[in-house]
Amino acid sequence: MYWGQLSLQDPCSPLMKELSEFHDFAMLPLMFISLYIIYTMFIISSSDTSAKHMFESHGLESIWTLMPAIILITLALPSLRLLYILDELCNPSLTIKTVGHQWYWSYEYTDTANIEFDSYMIPTEDLSPGDFRLLEVDNRMVVPMLMETRVLVTAADVMHAWTVPSLGVKVDAIPGRLNQMTILPSRPGVFYGQCSEICGANHSFMPIAVESVDIKKFDQWLTWKYLEN
């Protein structure tokens, strides 16, 4: 994300790419409808003619009934497809449990080793040159690139929301409930997000940092993290 950016973030997963394409597709009929309404309002306001003697027109009524229905169906079909893709879990290679707290995140890797750690925001005065203010954390969530990872999300106190826009994920963290999603990073890098549910005084100070690495570096990180714990 850049200052003044109006469009969506660059997609870093197949899911976010599908969401971006659907956004662009949906904007086409919306822009056409908006321009047509503005044009019609301009014509009506600048013209002296009126249709006050027109009492009924079955053809006109059919047009303004069928056209919105066709537009809604055109938007609904790809939208339903995306909803099924969001909920689909094929064969995840890794499961990570994410717990929201006031005001930090904790992560648990329990598939291969019992690894647990907390992720706090780095204060502004401790940032290094080039770091992002209010987004950098002391412990990033590391995931393997080009591999399906299941993330289980819950909360320990109040409602939170685990959101990473460039990966196309936003999941509510609710106490006493497990929500799940799938992330599939398509390239290496660090992807940032923030809590998207107002959860208290420090709601703006619990960022999310997901680091995508190749499988070899991921195995090395798992070994190092296990020894550290």
> pLDDT tens across 168-223, in order?
899 999 999 999 888 999 999 999 999 999 999 999 999 999 999 999 999 898 88
- What is the pLDDT of the chain when averaged over all its residues? 88
Is 94-228 assigned to CATH 3.10.20.90? no
- Please, are residues 98 and 141 in contact by the beta-carbon 8 Å criterion? yes
Rounded Cα gap, residues 25 and 71, in angstroms: 12
- pLDDT of 60 higher than 90: no
pTM for this prediction: 0.81
- Please, are residues 154 and 178 in contact by the beta-carbon 8 Å criterion? yes
Rounded Cα gap, residues 223 and 229, in angstroms: 10
**CATH match for 14-87 among 1.10.287.130, 1.10.287.90, 3.30.210.10, 3.30.365.10:** 1.10.287.90
Q: Where are the domains of the chain?
A: 14-87, 94-228
pLDDT at 191: 94
